[in-house]
A and B are shown apart, each in its own frame.
Chain A
Amino acid sequence: MDGIHDLGGKHGFGGSLEERDEAEFHALWEPRVRAIAGLMIGQGCFNVDAFRHAIERLDPVAYLGDGYFGRWLGAVEKLVEEADRRPRPGLFPDTSTLRVIDEPPRYAPGDEVVTRKLHRSGHTRLPGYARGCQGTVALWHGAWVFPDTHAHGEGENPQHVYAVRFDARELWGDAAEAGTSVHVDLFESYLAPRPRFEVPA
């Protein structure tokens, strides 16, 4: 979803990193909430994709105002509420998300691809800044559970994942810093082969 969480490239979300907050936690409840979320996912009450999507569905003001573990708290509360306050263990017994599939990978390192302009209202792991952009496959990562369906209880639908390299100019135009690039890990269905212009014979 095109929500507040999709922060890559956004302007205005905090300034300099010269003075930065090094703390892992700021209050005693934070490590407890972190542990609770891990224990709930670990016993299969919900899966990690649904958990991430619950964070994305928080009120944007809470997302920014409650801090990192405040988001975790809000997400677990939301998932527990949506389970009618009776979450059931064992719904997602396999916390691993790496899979072996029959389909061979469609792309190989060096292939030129273009990302689709997907604007899903649900969960997705295609960042907004990398949509509709040309890139080059750098690494093949194997096949993984597809978060876009898994987050919604619509099955694992595993597919191949690739690290795709984007030149900064492709992402940011004239504002790009020279000599920089971004690699993004993308599911195969986010990608299409880069169109080639046919030279008439």
Chain B
Amino acid sequence: MSDHDHAPDPLAIRAEALEKLLTDQGLVTAEAIEGVIRHYAEDVGPMNGARVVARAWTDPAYRERLLENGREAIAELGFGGAQGERLVVVENEPQVHNVVVCTLCSCYPWPVLGLPPSWYKDPAYRSRVVREPRAVLREFGLELPDETEVRVWDSSAEIRYMVLPQRPVGTESLSEADLAPLVSRDAMIGVAQVEANRE
């Protein structure tokens, strides 16, 4: 991953020293660290949120429960854990588009979306999307009509947000299992819409 073949990365050296200090005190172990890494690499990711969205599109009672209490509804599909104490699912409608950010740090709904991409954590997105969401969405390739209200959600406390995108036209015959692969991470952050034909 690192291309520093010659000069070692000073952050890597510091990280190694920190891990050694805490390992020597019995506070962390290599097994525990690798267990966390494996969990987020294998069990948690946007495929979880995509299953939630596909279920909500095909089961109106589930959609109601999801909008009422996101944490309980995702638990029905076996999802939960850190950063999921209260999950609010905000629904896109023809006249309303929602988009999520954390301007103060980089809070993100781990149980349904896994770990955020770098751009979500970088200053450009955090500084700009609250001030000029339409311009930012345009740079993601999403041009919204002037009549559509754009609602930005700044996750400034412990509540986490996920967007329930609109079901694309032309997918009426698709099953829940067929729909889930169409749902992208970006659509659940709110910087994209779901397309009927995902590349």
Spell out A's residues near B (CB within 8 Å). Answer: 5-11, 13-18, 20-29, 31-36, 38-40, 43, 45, 52, 55, 64, 66-68, 70, 73, 76-77, 80, 85-87, 89, 95-98, 125-127, 129-130, 139, 141-142, 144, 147, 161, 163, 165, 171-172, 175, 177-187
How far apart sit A140 and B134, CA to CA, in the bound complex (Å)? Answer: 27
Residue of B with least CB distance to A40 = B27
Contact B156 A21 (CB under 8 A): no
Contact B1 A28 (CB under 8 A): yes
Given A66-B11, A87-B22, A163-B88, 7 further pairs, Cβ under 8 A: A8-B127, A14-B123, A22-B119, A27-B2, A35-B33, A68-B121, A129-B131
Contact A6 B151 (CB under 8 A): no
Hey, which chain A residues are within 8 Å of B22, CB to CB? 36, 40, 80, 87
> A23-B117, A73-B11, A125-B157 known; A80 and B131 CB under 8 Å?
no
B173: Cβ under 8 A from any A Cβ? no
The one of B103, B122, B150, B156 that contacts A180, using a Cβ cutoff of 8 Å = B150
Contact A31 B152 (CB under 8 A): no
Hey, which chain B residues are within 8 Å of A38, CB to CB? 36, 82
How far apart sit A177 and B106, CA to CA, in the bound complex (Å)? Answer: 24
Contact B103 A127 (CB under 8 A): yes
- List CB contacts (< 8 Å) of B54-97 with chain A: 82, 85-86, 88
- List CB contacts (< 8 Å) of B126-149 with chain A: 126-128, 130-136, 139-140, 146-149
Nearest 6 A/B pairs, CB to CB: A14-B124, A8-B103, A13-B123, A35-B36, A21-B118, A20-B119
Contact B18 A20 (CB under 8 A): no
> A43-B27, A80-B18, A96-B85 known; A183 and B125 CB under 8 Å?
no
How far apart sit A22 and B140, CA to CA, in the bound complex (Å)? Answer: 12
- Within the complex, the shortest CB–CB distance from A35 to chain B, in Å, comes to 4
B169: Cβ under 8 A from any A Cβ? no
How many residue pairs, one in A and one in B, have C-beta atoms under 8 Å apart? 219
Contact B152 A98 (CB under 8 A): no
Contact A181 B159 (CB under 8 A): no
Contact B115 A24 (CB under 8 A): yes
Contact A39 B33 (CB under 8 A): yes
Contact A98 B85 (CB under 8 A): yes
Residue of A with least CB distance to B186 = A22
Query: Can you show 10 pairs from A to B with CB atoms below 8 A apart?
Result: A7-B103, A13-B127, A14-B123, A20-B119, A27-B2, A32-B15, A35-B32, A39-B32, A52-B105, A180-B150
Contact B104 A6 (CB under 8 A): yes
The one of A27, A43, A127 that contacts B1, using a Cβ cutoff of 8 Å = A27
Hey, which chain A residues are within 8 Å of B132, CB to CB? 177
B16: Cβ under 8 A from any A Cβ? yes
Hey, which chain B residues are within 8 Å of A165, CB to CB? 151
Contact A9 B117 (CB under 8 A): no
Hey, which chain A residues are within 8 Å of B118, CB to CB? 20-24, 26, 68
Hey, which chain A residues are within 8 Å of B127, CB to CB? 7-11, 13-14
Contact flags B11-44 to A (C-beta < 8 A → 1, else 0): 1101110110110010110001110110010000
The one of B106, B116, B158 that contacts A97, using a Cβ cutoff of 8 Å = B158
Residue of B with least CB distance to A165 = B151
B166: Cβ under 8 A from any A Cβ? no
Contact A185 B121 (CB under 8 A): no
Hey, which chain A residues are within 8 Å of B106, CB to CB? 68
Contact B157 A144 (CB under 8 A): yes
Residue of B with least CB distance to A87 = B27
Hey, which chain B residues are within 8 Å of A177, CB to CB? 132-135, 150
Contact A180 B86 (CB under 8 A): no
Contact A182 B11 (CB under 8 A): no
